[in-house]
Every structure is written in C-alpha cells, then in structure tokens.
Chain A
C-alpha cells in the first residue's frame, strides 16, 4: 500500500528565508506527483504537477523536484513571504487495479514571520 510521508510536520521561519519541504513515498510506481497549498478553512490549491518522466517543475518562487527511484520529492520556496504561510500537501497519483488514485501526505504547516 502506498504511503506518503511529509517532513517536517511544521516549520516556522523568518521572512526572506529559502526553505525546503520534503515528501517521501513508498512505491515508486507512480504516474505523477502534485504539490498543493491549503489555507486554514479553505480548499486545496494546486501548486505544481510533476509527471513521472520529469525531474522538476518551476512556478515563480516555487521549484519542485522528483526522484522517483528513491521515492522522494522536495518543494523549494525561495525568499519566503508571510503570504506563504499555509499547509503544503504532497500527493502521488498511483495505479491501483487499472485506475489511478491520489494518495496524500499529512502535510507540512508553514509559518513565515514578518
């Protein structure tokens, strides 16, 4: 059974720092990996989608990498801002009985202080 782990569970940094969020998964047979952001009391916003054949994706200050063979992904946030404060979720899309399902980690709660 696919398991997705995110470390750390919580992270507090001062504004301006560069930071890395980690995601690991147990089964490397995935179709893609997606990073989401969730603000308190809100839904999930997709940040980056990395296909299994890709190594990384970038969007603005965000860069996500994927090492499928080792079961790891990282989300790099450059020059963090207070508006980046949120919970970040990693999810892998796996194949199960012919249908692709998304398996989530439990998230990293990020607080960026002014």
Chain B
C-alpha cells in the first residue's frame, strides 16, 4: 500500500546512546516532516524538509538532526539520547493533505 513507512516501531535506548529513525514515502511528495507526540502536548514539529536537499528546524529541534537522503527518505537522528526524548515519533509527507506513518515508540532509560 502507498504511504509512509517508519522503522523501527519500538526502541529502548540508554541515556547517551545514539540512533536513527528511518522514514520513507512512495507518494512522490516533496515535503516531509518529523513530529513528536507527548501526552498533553499534542504533536510538535521537530524538523521538516520542504524539498529534496533542504531541511529546516521546527518547534522543538534541540537534540535532533535530520537528513533528507533523497526525495523518498527523511531520517531523524538522536546523537545522545536523553530521557526527555522519550516519546512517540511520527514521520509525515504532504502534497496538499498530510499522510502520517504509524510511528516509532521510543523509550530512553
């Protein structure tokens, strides 16, 4: 099925470890996004990429880096994970409306 695919679905990290969340879309969308969702906070934009080769900070970028590898793929990297980064992470792509992936549940202990 066409859509946005995220990997992994679940991950537990120790404080200070690093990891990369992968995201790929097959809808030929130019724009891609990374959000985090926390209880009581709603969804907050971490980084976005308006088109291949460009990335920009969103509302809560600290502690994260991103790479727009090509038009299909947009990865999110945590260089040194902290407990405050425990969250559910969603990748999305858009043309007019948005399509979201199924999320990555990350726990940092």
* A positions within 8 Å CB-CB of B: 32, 34, 36, 41-46, 49, 51, 89, 91, 93, 99-102, 104-107
Contacts and interface: CB of A to CB of B under 8 A. Distances in A.
Interface of B is mostly: strand
Given A46-B98, A89-B43, A105-B42, 7 more contacts: A34-B98, A43-B101, A43-B102, A43-B103, A99-B48, A101-B45, A104-B42
Interface of B: 31, 33, 40-43, 45, 48, 50, 56, 58, 90, 92, 94, 96-103, 105
Contacts of A105: 42
Contact of A99 (B43, B56, B99, B102): B56
Interface of A is mostly: strand
A45 B101 CA distance: 9
A99 B90 contact: no
Contacts of A36: 100
A89 B31 CA distance: 21
A43 B90 contact: yes
Q: Which of A44, A45, A49, A104 has the most CB of B within 10 A?
A: A44
A102 B98 contact: yes
Contact of B97 (A32, A89, A104): A32
Contact of A107 (B42, B48, B92, B94): B42
Contacts of B100: 36, 43-46
